[in-house]
Amino acid sequence: MPRRYTVETPVDVSILGESLTFPTSKRVTRNRLMKAALSEYLAPWTPNDLAKTGTPNSRHVNMYEKWSAGGYGVVLTGGILVDKDHLEAPGNTIISADVDSPEKRAVWAEVATKSKAHGGLIVAQIMHAGRQTQAAVNPHPFAVSTKALGKTEVGRAFGTPVEMTTEQVKTEVVDKFIYTAKYLYDAGFDGIQLHCAHGYLLAQFLSRTTNKRTDQYGGSEINRARVIIEIYEGIRKLIPAKTGFIIGVKLNSVEFQNEGLQTNEAVIIAQELDKAGFDFIELSGGTYEKFAFETRESTKNREAFFFEFAKEIVPSIKNAVVYLTGGFRTAPAMVSAIKDGVTQGIGIGRPATQEFDFVNKLLAGKVQSTVAWSDLLPPSDFTTAVLACSVQTAQAGQKALSECADINEGISDLTDDTVAAEYLEAQKKYIERATAEGKQGRIVYGIVPFRNNYKQG
């Protein structure tokens, strides 16, 4: 049996099983739990074959079906990129007009159909990396300003950003997000979420660290949020609220940087997004330059990484459903956060990749906490967390739910020290290879080769 976080005093979890109603689309969730978006790196990256690049496959179909069957009220996909030249990383799925194909549309439709069959709402997170685009993908990515990203990760340098003109904000950002949202609506998805956190392009508009613009997209909090509202309004023109299509947003509660988004600014921005009509606001935090996961020990002790900041922001949100994601591991903490009015919904990230049916077990009273990875994999190690989770999702995607005796069949137990040590050795070799190739301007993409049959790029 996998190791779990210790709960000394079990609590009644019935409040977690309550439904939530999204105010604009009027859609209803079956419970308060949401599977948060996670990096996956499972799609092909073929810049010379645009019909193939960024195409989802059977692994995506299988893993999203399993999360829905596992009980989540909302299943968020990993980030889907709206522009092939501005990836979070090669291996991302991509939806844009220049990489469209009938085959790609068919797989996305299957993802939606299989996931919805189990009662969960399937919502696609859509995003643009902006300046957080690797140089090997695009040496000169479009961004809010020319401020470059100083940090590299796993041997990968980021491109030198090019500040977009006012017109390009519409053609390269607003129009592309609208296209991707309509595509997903046509594929049968229940909704989309705009990724406006973690330092990606829409977050770059919101942050004073990166937004030095002097046009209508810079300056005040309202101006910095303008592009997000324009995207929302553009989507709603094509897909009215009466269709039941959900539109949510992921927002930083704080960035932990001197000029980064501060909580008082997040309050104003959240108010504007709430007024615009977003169905839900997911609160998170941090950027590549300063991982939120490395700070605020007091917050970690409260279990939700961004608990303190959310408590200041949530009272300003009058209509949208609020989800808080980051660090929830035990039922007492989840129940407390809801009863204290800090959030209405709970986002589950990393633990979702080892135990796809956590929500079913939790609401049935079988468990009071998530699995607890080996101490060899500390929660503060962001790179290991991202890479290890992507390995587990790939393992889960190897078989369809109908082929599995157990929904978690084939997933490595990273709560086991021996398995964790073996994984870390594989990860070390992967990073060494990626670093060496990166110095030569080449990209190693995909997941760490560990107990799966995924073909690495």
Mean pLDDT of the chain: 91
Query: How far is 422 from 414, CA to CA, in rounded Å?
Result: 10
**Helix (H, G, I), strand (E, B), or coil: what is residue 242?**
helix
Query: How far is 296 from 300, CA to CA, in rounded Å?
Result: 7
pLDDT per residue as tens digits for the range 255-282: 544 455 677 888 999 999 999 999 999 9
Q: What angle do helix axes 102-116 and 175-187 make, rounded to 10 degrees?
A: 60
Beta-bridged to residue 157, according to DSSP, are: none
Q: Quote the Cα angle for 83-121-336, to 5°.
A: 105
CA neighbor of 147 nearest in space, from 165, 130, 168: 130
pLDDT per residue as tens digits for the range 170-218: 999 999 999 999 999 999 999 999 999 988 999 999 998 899 999 999 9
pLDDT at 62 over 50: yes
- The CATH classification of domain 14-439, taken from the options 3.40.190.10, 3.10.20.30, 3.30.230.30, 3.20.20.70: 3.20.20.70
Query: How many other C-beta atoms can be found within 10 angstroms of the C-beta atom of residue 51?
Result: 14
* Cβ atoms of 408 and 358 closer than 8 Å: no
What six digits make up the tokens of 81? 């990129």
Residue 261: the pLDDT is 67
User: pTM score, two decimals?
Assistant: 0.94
Query: How far is 131 from 143, CA to CA, in rounded Å?
Result: 5
As a whole number, mean pLDDT of residues 129-135 equals 94
Query: How far is 28 from 20, CA to CA, in rounded Å?
Result: 6
Query: How far is 274 from 251, CA to CA, in rounded Å?
Result: 12
pLDDT at 299 over 50: no
